[in-house]
Amino acid sequence: MFQNLKDHPADKILELMQLYREDPREDKVDLGVGVYKDATGKTPIMGAVKAAEQQLWLNETTKSYVGLIGDPAYNTAMRDLILGDTVAAERLSSAATPGGTGAVRQAFELVRMANPDATIWVSDPTWPNHLSIIKYLGIPMVEYRYFDSTTRAVNFDGMMEDLAGVKPGDVVLLHGCCHNPTGANLTMDQWSAVAELIEKTGALAMIDIAYQGFGDGLEEDAGGTRLLAARLPELLIAASCSKNFGIYRERTGILIGISADARTAKTTQGNLAFLNRQNYSFPPDHGARLVTMILNDQTLRSQWQTELEEVRLGMLKLREDLAAELRQRTNSDRFDFIAQHRGMFSRLGATPEQVLAMRESHGIYMVGDSRVNIAGLNATTLPILAEAMVAAGV
């Protein structure tokens, strides 16, 4: 049987990780993998997470299963973190998932169950795994313009022109904040215009929010999501705790559904539980329990928010410093967009040939489309990247 299996193309980011590991140079720089790193190049465990783990170790009395949708307290805490009091509780349904990827996968499965004829509209560009999962599930997909490669800003006119073709029952996939891979975000006025268009077309909006707290702040980063939640009768939200809690390997995510009324929400909740049962039965709990403890304990939450803000401000400073370094080296402001973008990622505008040249000459590892993980930089490696960019003629 196995001889009938076919090889799949290597994941570009995982392939890049392997190349980086095999490079013997001591001064090589990893800007490809999407994890936060501190000034020493390590991905630390937050103090609030460590404190919660210590409490859990002392007080946990069982490792028995949680329910199909996870711990209800986790679901409530995450819904409050993302939505605040925007939506009445009776319209909400949710299920814990293995990471944000699990939430995205379950959302696409739910869409296919609800409307087998749905087309999913995705931004050009988007997180590559969005495209991979959609293709694997056999769901029709259309790309809409999003990023202007010349201005390095959102091509909002092109986006709205393309989305005018959305049909009732289609799904428009949006990034809640810190767009991956570009770092270019919608303004609140633009979010409002998108809400109006989706409401007019009868489509379903789906938001992938993986970086809340990494852009302009916890509340600010939820602004677009909350605006759509307040305006639209239905919404899907796939969220991740990997980045903002730093618990990548714990695979902690959630899928939230907003329905038009309580009766529909109950049915949606049942379908989320059904999907969890089919795919992995009970979701992992360790990371979810830590998140719940932190969000529901005033001391732990205050500590976490302080740590998260330090991470956010550190990334903003790296952006500002890189833009300033490039301005000084090129005597040009063409890289100022780096300081204006938000989150972990930006696209530098380098060609694949220039990306390869930077890797070969300076040991700079980034994805072929020139997406860089800003959080992978520090005071030592930042000038190396700037020098490599100038040398490659970016």
How high is the mean pLDDT of the chain? Answer: 96
**Interval 301-356: pLDDT, tens:** 999 999 999 999 999 999 999 999 999 999 999 999 999 999 999 999 999 999 99
Ordered DSSP codes for 110-173: HHHHH-TT--EEEEES--HHHHHHHHHHT--EEEEE-EETTTTEE-HHHHHHHHTT--TT-EEE
Is the predicted pLDDT of residue 14 greater than 90, yes or no? no
Q: How many CA atoms lie within 13 A of 46 on its CB side?
A: 28
* Backbone φ and ψ of 35, nearest 5°: -125, 150
Write phi, then psi, for 131 (nearest 5 degrees).
Answer: -65, -40
Confidence of residue 8 (pLDDT cuts 50, 70, 90): confident
In contact, 119 and 167? CB cutoff 8 Å: yes
Per-residue model confidence as pLDDT tens digits over 124-133:
999 999 999 9
What is residue 239's predicted lDDT score, i.e. its pLDDT? 98
- 41 pLDDT higher than 90: no
Query: Distance between CA 50 and CA 153 in Å, rounded?
Result: 38
pLDDT, one tens digit per residue, over 186-201 is 999 999 999 999 999 9
| 132 Cβ neighbours under 8 A, 6+ residues apart | none
DSSP assignment, residue 98?
A: E
The reported pLDDT for the residue numbered 12 is 80
Beta-bridged to residue 236, according to DSSP, are 206, 257
Output the DSSP codes for 207-252: EEE--TTSSS-HHHHTHHHHHHHHH-S-EEEEEE-TTTS--GGG-E
Q: Are 161 and 121 spatial neighbours (Cβ–Cβ below 8 Å)?
A: no
DSSP 46: P
262 has pLDDT over 90: yes
Lowest mean pLDDT among 14-18, 19-23, 241-245, 328-332: 14-18
Question: How far is C-alpha 325 from the chain's CA centre?
Answer: 28
User: CA-CA distance, 36 to 49, in Å (whole number)?
Assistant: 15
CB 144 within 8 A of CB 121: yes
pLDDT of 163 above 90: yes
How many other CB atoms are there within 10 angstroms of residue 151's CB atom? 10
CA dist 226 and 229 (Å) reads 5
- What's the average model confidence in pLDDT over 28-54? 93
Number of CB atoms found within 10 A of residue 89's CB: 12
Q: What is the pLDDT of residues 228-240, one digit of tens each?
A: 999 999 999 999 9
For residue 252, which of 126, 81, 16 has the smallest C-alpha distance? 81
Q: Does residue 34 surpass a pLDDT of 90?
A: no
Q: Residue length, the chain?
A: 394
The string of pLDDT tens digits covering residues 101-124 is 999 999 999 999 999 999 999 999
The rounded percent of the chain whose pLDDT value lies above 70 is 100
Instruction: Strands of the chain (E only): list them.
Output: 29-30, 92-98, 120-124, 141-145, 147-148, 153-154, 171-175, 204-209, 235-240, 252-258, 345-347, 364-365, 371-373
Counting Cβ atoms within 10 Å, is residue 160 exposed (0-12), middle (13-18) or buried (19+)? middle
Half-sphere exposure of residue 339: CA atoms within 13 angstroms, side-chain side: 13
- pLDDT for 185 beyond 90: yes
- Active-site residue list: 127, 208, 210, 243
Q: Given this model, what pLDDT does residue 13 score?
A: 82
Please say if the pLDDT value at position 10 is more than 90. Answer: no
**Helix, strand, coil percentages in the chain from 3-state DSSP, rounded to 5:** 50, 15, 35
